[in-house]
Homo-oligomer: A and B are copies of this chain.
Amino acid sequence: MESLKQKILDEGLALSETVLKVDNFLNHQIDPQLMQEIGKEFVRRFRHKKITKIVTIESSGIAPAVMAGLMLDVPVVFARKKKSLTLTEGLITASVYSFTKQETNDISIAEKFLTEGEHVLIIDDFLANGQAALGLIDIVEQANATVSGVGIVIEKAFQDGGDLMRNKGYQVESLARIKSLTQGKVEFVEEQEYAQ
């Protein structure tokens, strides 16, 4: 998605070889027009899939997920993050290890919002090692619902989360795929723009 890549080049900060800061338009300050374009692009890329619900994770996944949900006219559910859950009644949970924070958090969704037979599009802001997305897939499958696909705003393609999920057969669509962040410079994976 060219406008997203341009925004990353203009406003993203490659803080290290693995850290890209995009708090100017996605993770802290949000650009609503860009979120709408992102939502539209997700809808286009998954247009052949049945989708009855969108699942994301708080907080930065919510804006792109709600924009896609608006266009598809389906509800959005965001998983909550908690250090560790004591009260889990009525919740479907998964453990997510964060390599950056080196800690495990539980994420959870109330079971009443994910029922058997639903077709779920998972949306998240970043994909690196894939732990968060795999946690969301785990939750959807615990509910006996179907994962229609995984939509990611920015994939760090030099980390293995994307391949991991594609190898498992999930359709993963990342709107910007980063090849490297060497010396403060963002390089994207060269790819043909996704066909109409």
Contacts and interface: CB of A to CB of B under 8 A. Distances in A.
Contacts of A184: none
Contacts of A77: 28-30
Contact of A32 (B30, B58, B69): B69
Interface string A1-30: 000000000000000000000010100111
Contact of A110 (B28, B31, B58, B113): B28
A63 interface: yes
Given A59-B62, A66-B63, A30 B75 contact: yes
A69 to B, nearest CB: 4
A76 B69 CA distance: 19
A192 interface: no
7 contacts: A28-B109, A28-B113, A29-B77, A29-B113, A30-B78, A36-B70, A66-B67
